[in-house]
Structure 1
Amino acid sequence: FIAWHFYLSLYLASCALLLLTLNWRTSTGLPVPAPSPGTDDQCSDLYRRLLLNISNALSSGTLSYGIPSEKVEVRGAGETVLACAPTQTQNSNCMMQRNFSFSESECLKNIVKDLAYYGDAIQSYLEHPLKSPNKEAELLNPIVEIIQSLTKNCFPQQNGENQSTKEDAKVWGNDSFTNRLEMYKMMRGFHIRAITINRAIGYIASGDHRK
């Protein structure tokens, strides 16, 4: 009976110590790392919607109608692929190592530059002759709006820093077919870039680069 009472007392004491420890942790309010700028749930949802809308624009057939080319043209004003690559990336086929550490701020800055470029390029395209103005606007305007929401709500501190992309994005002429051909190639490239951006945001949000 004495032994049983001893172990019961030890058990109760252990429980009390555990509760005390938990209460202390709660009362001291150990800080929970805040999401990095541009990577919270709202922004992550916008990135996913951006990729979905680009996919829808490409699969609709409106931009690709009568265009046999399957070429991809990745444009942009930033170096997102390089800036957002993890410090070491490897798979079964290749390994890529960088001679500098991952910079979250550089990655995000380049993402903003690319988004600004594509947003300006699409907006400029819609101001030029179009084969199907209503259909093309219906597909592309939501993409521009998502980009504007991202730059305004997720990167307000960098809003307005990419004015130079407006002139660079004016690449359209007066022939609607040629413009649509170039837009189709550009959107295929933007699709690839949007995948890269989503992966980069996921990497930053995971916090792996801080380990």
Structure 2
Amino acid sequence: MPLIKPYFTPALVLLVFSSSLWHVAQPLPMKSEGLITESCVLYANTLLQNITFALTQNNLFSGIDCSKQSVELNTETNTPSVCAPKGSTCSGITTTVFDQESCLKNIVQDLDHYYKFLASHLDSNNLLKTTVLFSLREFMENCFTRSAFTDLTLKQDVEDHPSTYDERLSLCKVLKGFQIRTITINRVVGYVHSGDHTKPVLQ
């Protein structure tokens, strides 16, 4: 039987090689090959505590009872549904798959959204900068790849003027939404860190 030599065209070899590079080059949202460390659990918890603290500071919301205002959530992501743990039931449907990559991408988009909003907000007393923004940036920089975010620099050219009623109201609503979303993020970080997402769903 005659031997058949494998034959690859230069274009085919280039295609295979390029495909391999493309796959390797895809950025992972989490550091350490997608693993969530104990430190990340602590960073997420500290962020939630600082948001909760900020919501009790009346000087941020002068003239507004923030506790009675509505919540403004980031509607550009699907974090609560995408990050639902395996075995959870929503509308009578049990989740059997946990897509960690998709979940983390939504979390990254949430953190990026809220960071940009808060970094551009007037903060004359540096309350947000030294609490919420500080812990948010630590969480983002230490637990996610830097390339996952658009810009982590704080704006220095925010016009220094007394905040308007609408600005304080917007801050209140967005911060309340961020608190709710951060509760979800804390649950996800704890869930992934525990390894429960790799266990089979019990029927």
Fold match (TM-score > 0.5): yes
- Identity level (%): 33
Q: Is the 8 A contact 2:38 2:193 kept in 1?
A: no
1:161: Cα distance to partner?
3.4
54, 57, 67: which one aligns with 1:57:
54
Q: 1:87: how far off?
A: 3.0
Tell me if the contact between 1:73 and 1:189 (Cα under 8 Å) persists in the aligned partners.
yes
1:79-158 aligned at under 5 Å gives the runs: 79-90=78-89, 95-98=92-95, 101-126=97-122, 133-134=124-125, 137-156=126-145
Cα gap change, 1:38/1:117 in structure 2, threshold over 3 Å: closer, same or farther?
farther
Unaligned stretches of 5+ residues in structure 1:
1-34, 167-173
Q: Within 1, Cα distance between the matches of 2:185 and 2:112?
A: 13
**Paired position in structure 2 for 1:184:** 172
Give 2:88's aligned amino acid. Answer: T
AA aligned opposite 2:45? R
* Residue-by-residue CA offset, 1:71-122 (whole Å, 9 max, x unaligned): 111126432111111133149xx64534x72111111111111011101100
RMSD between aligned residues: 2.8
Whole-angstrom distance in 2 between the partners of 1:43 and 1:63: 28
Q: Assess if the C-alpha contact under 8 Å between 2:61 and 2:169 holds in 1.
A: yes
TM-score normalized by the length of structure 1: 0.65
1:209 CA displacement: 1.5
Report the alpha carbon displacement of residue 38 of structure 1 after superposing the two structures with TM.
5.6
Which structure 2 residue ranges, 5 or more long, are not aligned? 1-31, 154-160
Could you state the TM-score of these two structures normalised by the residue count of structure 2?
A: 0.68
Distance 1:60 1:122 in 2: 15
Identify the residue that residue 195 of structure 1 maps to in structure 2.
Answer: 183
What whole-Å deviation, never above 9, does each CA across 1:37-74 have from its counterpart, x for those lacking one? 36211111110100000000001222333114421111
CA deviation map 1:9-50 (0-9, x unaligned)? xxxxxxxxxxxxxxxxxxxxxxxxxx8736211111110100
Distance in 2 of aligned mates of 1:55 and 1:143: 9
